[in-house]
Amino acid sequence: MTIRGTHAVIAAVVVALALATGAAGSSDRTPGALAVAEKYAELTDHWGTSWDLLAPAQQKFIPRALFVKCMSRIKSNRPKAIRITSVRAATITVPAPTPARVKGKLVRVHIDYGQAAPSQDATVKAIPNGAGWSWVNAAASRAQFVRQNFCRLG
């Protein structure tokens, strides 16, 4: 196992421990840590974890079971490493039946897949959630989430 592979395993353990102990969303969570945890969950098919980190306003209209079912259709290469490249303040619109504009952070991460695929950059929209942070999905309704993710219901 390479050093990068070891880092990916360590990241998985950190995310798992944080969620198991209820530390996700705790006061020591930063927007950067949220972005890395969300991207790692997304890229390793841990969709329940990704939903747990989703903005509560969006959890209200995207039930966990629907989120997991729809998103589980997405398959990707496992990352070798995910690192934060920038964090900047931004006013973020939280799509919902009643949209809200919230002061949050745009967190840019670099995802390295090693030899499996080209590296990529991604931006996670992070908003404050109590003492921690949550990420924002693009859907403003359950129907829009289903359409955007090509979900087959039934």
Is residue 75 within 8 Å of residue 45, measured between CB atoms?
Answer: yes
CA 140-145-148 angle, to 5 degrees, is: 115
Distances in Å between the alpha carbon of 153 and those of 59, 66, 96, 119, 138? 18, 9, 21, 33, 20
Pairwise CA distance, residues 30 & 9, whole Å: 20
Give the domain 3-138 fold.
Nuclear Transport Factor 2; Chain: A, (3.10.450)
35-89: per-residue pLDDT in tens?
999 999 999 999 999 999 999 999 999 999 999 999 999 888 999 999 999 999 9
